[in-house]
A and B are shown apart, each in its own frame.
Chain A
Amino acid sequence: MRDNENYWKRLRRRPVSRRSFLVGSGVAAAGSAAILAGCGDDDDDDDTAAPAATQAAAQEQAAAATEAAADEQAAAADEAAGDEQAAAEEAPVDSKRGGTLKLWKTEEDAGLDPGVFHLNNTEVIYSTMTQPYTYQPTKNVFAMDGMVGFEQVDPTTFVWSIRPGMKFHNGDPVDAEAVAFSFGRLEKLYRALDGTHTTRTGFAFVDSFDATDELTVTENWARPNADAPVYRARHYYSFVNPRMVEEHGHFEGSYEHADGTVEDVYSIQELPAGSGSGPYTMTRRDATGTRVERWPDYHKHTPADDGFVEDGPYIDAWETRVIPDAVAAKAAFLAGDLDVFASIDPLELPEFEGLDHVNVVEVPAGGRSSQGMDGGKFHDKRSRQALQKAFDYEGFIAAIRPLGGKLNAPITDLLPAYQKLSQQELAQWYRFDPAEAQALWQAADFVHPVENIKIFQATGAPLQHEISDFMAQSLAKALGPLGITTEVEAVDSNSWAARAVDRSTDVKDWEILSYGTGDAGGTSGVPNDSHLIHYDPRAYGFNAFNHYAESPRPEIAAGAAEIIELLNAQEAETDPEARAELLTGVQTWILDNHWCNWGLPISTVSYYGFSSRLQDQGIDNWLNHYDRRRESMWLQS
């Protein structure tokens, strides 16, 4: 055999130099880039055109949004609902049936028991379980689902009428025993687990839930509560099959009744088939997401309230993908692979414009951008006040809120019946004054000296990083002359949550807990959820911010006692006007005492993206906490 006929020898005679390889790669990369650039945007506008247009639009929109009043919010929601209803009525019912709604979430759920968690799992809970009803805050409408009615017999007695003929997915009847069990287990789970994610303010005032007859449940309260009806629309109050809890439940601990008897408490985090009675059953739940499919034996809604249809739901299945990266999710949405993309940044709106398959809805923002302060370290009011004086509110709005921002009161202004503080009034407390901040800091007492302020946040929302960065810079500029340094630490959301509520020592391993980007819309409809629980010494004030009645710091303990009294008083007041006055008092107290948590300026408007094939989505349902519980939604083929 001749040498040059040997393949290996021929190959060896023509080695490719590393340099040639690099140069070749460079040329290929440059060529690819040129091709990509050539295939890109055909728009001949100059580079600054898009941002300039965005800014101009932003200013106009900001001005318009700032002027928007609560009535207009309701009117807009009504108008949107009216348009949707008109569109829905035009299409024949048969053409509305079918299809798969495609959703996304950033992480897997950590459990599906509606009485324990409410993180990354609501798409399953709302679709596979039945709640008493939905509540639409802007319209102040209750739409009946598992209940057909309710009546407040006297200030402390509430009676429910259950929809007849309902069954759990395994055929067990949904009766008063099951409903009373479902509601009553919330307090027991809360006690057994020493706190859950459920808002205890929704059931702490209840003495008992009793099955009066087969389809009637009576709530007996220890004291009046103005928000009870709204609370019952939350997913915590889903109907859970007692037999499934008994057979498949996981032991969580014990609960001691008032008479001294002890009861074992079980959770049902896997939600096995038969646990719920909702319109769908779960067919997949893994690391990639969840899928629920229509349950053929679902009960009829006769007559059907807003958001329900007699023979619903129209959509066959919901597919929820886990997409940790919001940018990837946006790309999927723009490509038509997702039906909903919330929290669109105003600056990226141009990407959503001119697309036939995308429908962007502008709504007033109502979320929070919270900065929880560790009461173990910032026990002296002056230290908390110093932090708030060291923050540049106007600079923050200019940098972070491109369409304009507004100061955030402890209660969202999407509840105009309760939130009466004007922006001018709020500006008294939210004022940037570095000199005063330094004076207050120096005068403040610190049991644990603070030399470095760590702002602790979860990774995930890109805007959260910008907010923390701005906070760190602002505090460093104002308090830096005193030798105070700042830093930002970002960890995954599970680690963040664990460290946020870690109570193993009397101080946290962070100084400020940063969460919420303040660019989301919506409210649950009650002032406690929106957003007094962030200040409540029995809620986040206790487990996250070390602001609680049993605090070893006397000032904190005294403050907690005061605010609990104020919170209880407003909660028990059923007259809206009198309650609004009490709530103004609560807010003023919080702001005067710089208590526990401080809300940064939020966006004036919020943008939600929907695929244009999704019809009658009910914007109100997506803005409040009962999103997706709308069986009249349908997908245009």
Chain B
Amino acid sequence: MSQEQTTAQEGQAAEAALALEYAIPPRQRFNPFKWARREPFGAFGLVLIGLVVFLSLAAPVLRTSPPNEFAVGPPLAGPNADNWFGTTARGKDVWSRVLFAGRISLKIGIATVLLGTLGGTLIALVSAYAGGAVDFAVGRIADMFISIPGILIALVLHSSISADLPDLPGLQRQELYLVIAISLFFMPGTYRIMRGTVLELREATYVEAAQVVGSSSFRIMWRHVAPNMFGLMIVITSISLPAAILTEATLSFLGLGVPIGGLDAVPSWGADLSGSSRRFFSVAPWLAIFPGLALAITVFGFNIFGDSLRDTLDPRLRGRI
């Protein structure tokens, strides 16, 4: 064996060793069953969410009467064959109302969390990357919002802008108000968490490398920083969603929620737990039990699913509150 051959062989071996050492491991195919075995509570949460989504989507089929129709049964009838969850004081069918109310909770919850999380992340990305005065100003605005009780902001928005908002496709004026009001609850919190991440990522070697080769700030933010925030974004989204649903219920409970009257009025669990229903809770407990249970199941489902998702996407946080 010549000297050259020997050298070539050694070179190949070294390359092979390097390739082995620095090889990117093959992406593991996501196995939902394996995940469910590892995260049984998360899987259970997912089942609950799926159930709620299914019941909400299938509400027009599964209902026993239009949810807003008066006098479909006797007033305050208990659960029976015709009205499975009983009736309200005005003879409305509670089962149908609970089904349809899931729609508004999911719609407002998802829209709110998307807006709040995306908005908070975007603001954090720009302000933390820019730093300096921009970061300082945005930080103080976030502090201001955090220091004001969310309900107060919702009340101010309700009296100031809710009448002037437009009806959007799939999102009525009052629903849009809810989305904006609740998003403002979550945006500053999301901003705070995301800002820390951006500050950390900004100092990463690959960002420095990108700066050295002359990449623009926008490109760095879009190509190098933002993708690394995605996992955390999903975690925040999953954790914020139940809180958003509860906030919608709270605002509806206070009479600041979705439209309350008319054929197109959408029932809401929060609204059904308030208003005239509350007068009759002690003589007709089903008025509180069923909407309350639906709300609790939904929030519980999202909570435990979000918890598992967090463990899966960010193992560093596993097992911590």
* CB-nearest residue of chain A to B87: A51
In the bound complex, do residue B321 and residue A466 qualify as a contact, i.e. CB atoms below 8 Å apart? no
In the bound complex, do residue A472 and residue B261 qualify as a contact, i.e. CB atoms below 8 Å apart? yes
Q: How far is the CA of A582 from the CA of B304 in the complex (A)?
A: 72
Known: A19-B307, A490-B260. A473 touches B70 (CB 8 A): yes
Task: Specify which chain A residues have a CB less than 8 angstroms from the CB of B77 in the assembled complex.
Answer: 48, 51
Task: Specify which chain A residues have a CB less than 8 angstroms from the CB of B255 in the assembled complex.
Answer: 459, 490
In the bound complex, do residue A473 and residue B76 qualify as a contact, i.e. CB atoms below 8 Å apart? no
Known: A22-B303, A465-B275. A477 touches B320 (CB 8 A): no
Kindly supply a per-residue 1/0 record for chain A positions 555-571, scoring 1 wherever the CB is within 8 Å of any chain B CB and 0 otherwise.
Answer: 00000000000000000
**Is B17 positioned at the interface, with any CB of A under 8 Å from its CB?**
no
**Is A259 positioned at the interface, with any CB of B under 8 Å from its CB?**
no
Partner of A55 from B75, B163, B264, B308 at Cβ < 8 Å: B75
In the bound complex, do residue A462 and residue B279 qualify as a contact, i.e. CB atoms below 8 Å apart? yes
* CB-nearest residue of chain B to A325: B278
In the bound complex, do residue A327 and residue B279 qualify as a contact, i.e. CB atoms below 8 Å apart? yes
**Is B319 positioned at the interface, with any CB of A under 8 Å from its CB?**
yes
Kindly supply a per-residue 1/0 record for chain A positions 9-20, scoring 1 wherever the CB is within 8 Å of any chain B CB and 0 otherwise.
Answer: 000000111110
In the bound complex, do residue B74 and residue A55 qualify as a contact, i.e. CB atoms below 8 Å apart? yes
Stretch from A110-118, A243-251, A342-350 at the B interface: A342-350
In the bound complex, do residue A395 and residue B70 qualify as a contact, i.e. CB atoms below 8 Å apart? yes
Task: Specify which chain B residues have a CB less than 8 angstroms from the CB of A468 in the assembled complex.
Answer: 260-261
Q: How far is the CA of A466 from the CA of B91 in the complex (A)?
A: 11
Q: How far is the CA of A26 from the CA of B68 in the complex (A)?
A: 32
In the bound complex, do residue B284 and residue A476 qualify as a contact, i.e. CB atoms below 8 Å apart? no
Chain A residue total in the interface (Cβ 8 A)? 52
**Is A208 positioned at the interface, with any CB of B under 8 Å from its CB?**
no
Kindly supply a per-residue 1/0 record for chain A positions 389-408, scoring 1 wherever the CB is within 8 Å of any chain B CB and 0 otherwise.
Answer: 00000010011101000000
* CB-nearest residue of chain A to B41: A19
In the bound complex, do residue A487 and residue B284 qualify as a contact, i.e. CB atoms below 8 Å apart? no
**Is A330 positioned at the interface, with any CB of B under 8 Å from its CB?**
yes
Distance of A122 from chain B, by nearest CB (Å):
25
**Is A455 positioned at the interface, with any CB of B under 8 Å from its CB?**
yes
In the bound complex, do residue B280 and residue A348 qualify as a contact, i.e. CB atoms below 8 Å apart? yes
In the bound complex, do residue A463 and residue B320 qualify as a contact, i.e. CB atoms below 8 Å apart? no
The total of interchain contacts (Cβ-Cβ below 8 angstroms) comes to: 136
In the bound complex, do residue B261 and residue A487 qualify as a contact, i.e. CB atoms below 8 Å apart? yes
Which residues of A from 1 to 29 have beta carbons under 8 Å from B? 15-19, 21-23, 26
Known: A17-B321, A351-B282, A395-B70. A51 touches B78 (CB 8 A): yes
Which residues of A from 442 to 499 have beta carbons under 8 Å from B? 455, 459, 462-463, 465-466, 468-473, 476-477, 480, 485-491, 495
Distance of A249 from chain B, by nearest CB (Å):
32
Partner of B79 from A18, A47, A470, A480 at Cβ < 8 Å: A47
Q: How far is the CA of A398 from the CA of B300 in the complex (A)?
A: 39
In the bound complex, do residue A472 and residue B263 qualify as a contact, i.e. CB atoms below 8 Å apart? yes
In the bound complex, do residue B71 and residue A399 qualify as a contact, i.e. CB atoms below 8 Å apart? yes
**Is B51 positioned at the interface, with any CB of A under 8 Å from its CB?**
no
In the bound complex, do residue B260 and residue A469 qualify as a contact, i.e. CB atoms below 8 Å apart? yes
In the bound complex, do residue A347 and residue B75 qualify as a contact, i.e. CB atoms below 8 Å apart? yes
Kindly supply a per-residue 1/0 record for chain B positions 267-285, scoring 1 wherever the CB is within 8 Å of any chain A CB and 0 otherwise.
Answer: 0000000011011101110
Partner of B276 from A351, A398, A465 at Cβ < 8 Å: A465
In the bound complex, do residue A326 and residue B279 qualify as a contact, i.e. CB atoms below 8 Å apart? yes
* CB-nearest residue of chain A to B173: A487
Kindly supply a per-residue 1/0 record for chain A positions 355-390, scoring 1 wherever the CB is within 8 Å of any chain B CB and 0 otherwise.
Answer: 000000000000000000000000000000000000
Distance of B78 from chain A, by nearest CB (Å):
3
In the bound complex, do residue A350 and residue B283 qualify as a contact, i.e. CB atoms below 8 Å apart? yes
Kindly supply a per-residue 1/0 record for chain B positions 163-190, scoring 1 wherever the CB is within 8 Å of any chain A CB and 0 otherwise.
Answer: 1000000000000000000000000000
**Is B150 positioned at the interface, with any CB of A under 8 Å from its CB?**
no
Known: A465-B260, A472-B262, A490-B255. A15 touches B304 (CB 8 A): no
Known: A17-B320, A395-B70. A400 touches B279 (CB 8 A): no
Partner of B265 from A17, A22, A54, A469 at Cβ < 8 Å: A469
Q: How far is the CA of A284 from the CA of B300 in the complex (A)?
A: 47
Distance of A142 from chain B, by nearest CB (Å):
38
**Is B80 positioned at the interface, with any CB of A under 8 Å from its CB?**
yes
**Is B139 positioned at the interface, with any CB of A under 8 Å from its CB?**
no
Which residues of B from 292 to 321 have beta carbons under 8 Å from A? 300, 303-304, 307-308, 319-321
**Is A50 positioned at the interface, with any CB of B under 8 Å from its CB?**
yes
**Is A46 positioned at the interface, with any CB of B under 8 Å from its CB?**
yes
**Is B90 positioned at the interface, with any CB of A under 8 Å from its CB?**
yes
Distance of B177 from chain A, by nearest CB (Å):
12
In the bound complex, do residue A51 and residue B261 qualify as a contact, i.e. CB atoms below 8 Å apart? no
Q: How far is the CA of A395 from the CA of B319 in the complex (A)?
A: 57
Distance of B161 from chain A, by nearest CB (Å):
14
In the bound complex, do residue A466 and residue B90 qualify as a contact, i.e. CB atoms below 8 Å apart? yes
Kindly supply a per-residue 1/0 record for chain B positions 49-71, scoring 1 wherever the CB is within 8 Å of any chain A CB and 0 otherwise.
Answer: 00000000000000000001111
In the bound complex, do residue B70 and residue A488 qualify as a contact, i.e. CB atoms below 8 Å apart? no
Task: Specify which chain B residues have a CB less than 8 angstroms from the CB of A26 in the assembled complex.
Answer: 300
**Is B207 positioned at the interface, with any CB of A under 8 Å from its CB?**
no
Task: Specify which chain B residues have a CB less than 8 angstroms from the CB of A489 in the assembled complex.
Answer: 163
Q: How far is the CA of A470 from the CA of B261 in the complex (A)?
A: 7
Partner of A51 from B76, B264, B276, B282 at Cβ < 8 Å: B76
Q: How far is the CA of A472 from the CA of B114 in the complex (A)?
A: 33
In the bound complex, do residue B319 and residue A487 qualify as a contact, i.e. CB atoms below 8 Å apart? no
Task: Specify which chain B residues have a CB less than 8 angstroms from the CB of A345 in the assembled complex.
Answer: 89, 279-280
Which residues of B from 123 to 180 have beta carbons under 8 Å from A? 159, 163
Distance of B126 from chain A, by nearest CB (Å):
31
Q: How far is the CA of A330 from the CA of B283 in the complex (A)?
A: 14
Task: Specify which chain A residues have a CB less than 8 angstroms from the CB of B282 in the assembled complex.
Answer: 351
Kindly supply a per-residue 1/0 record for chain A positions 573-598, scoring 1 wherever the CB is within 8 Å of any chain B CB and 0 otherwise.
Answer: 00000000000000000000000000
Task: Specify which chain A residues have a CB less than 8 angstroms from the CB of B262 in the assembled complex.
Answer: 469, 472-473, 476, 485-488
In the bound complex, do residue A15 and residue B300 qualify as a contact, i.e. CB atoms below 8 Å apart? no
**Is B95 positioned at the interface, with any CB of A under 8 Å from its CB?**
no
Known: A348-B280, A351-B282. A48 touches B70 (CB 8 A): no
Partner of A488 from B159, B260, B275 at Cβ < 8 Å: B260
In the bound complex, do residue A463 and residue B259 qualify as a contact, i.e. CB atoms below 8 Å apart? no
**Is B286 positioned at the interface, with any CB of A under 8 Å from its CB?**
yes
Distance of A451 from chain B, by nearest CB (Å):
13
10 closest Cβ pairs, A-B complex:
A488-B261, A47-B78, A462-B276, A469-B261, A472-B262, A399-B70, A472-B261, A51-B76, A399-B71, A48-B78
Q: Which residues of A contact B (CB under 8 A)?
A: 15-19, 21-23, 26, 46-48, 50-51, 54-55, 326-327, 330, 345, 347-348, 350-351, 395, 398-400, 402, 455, 459, 462-463, 465-466, 468-473, 476-477, 480, 485-491, 495
A-B contact pairs, 6 of them (CB 8 A): A15-B319, A47-B86, A50-B76, A51-B283, A395-B71, A468-B260
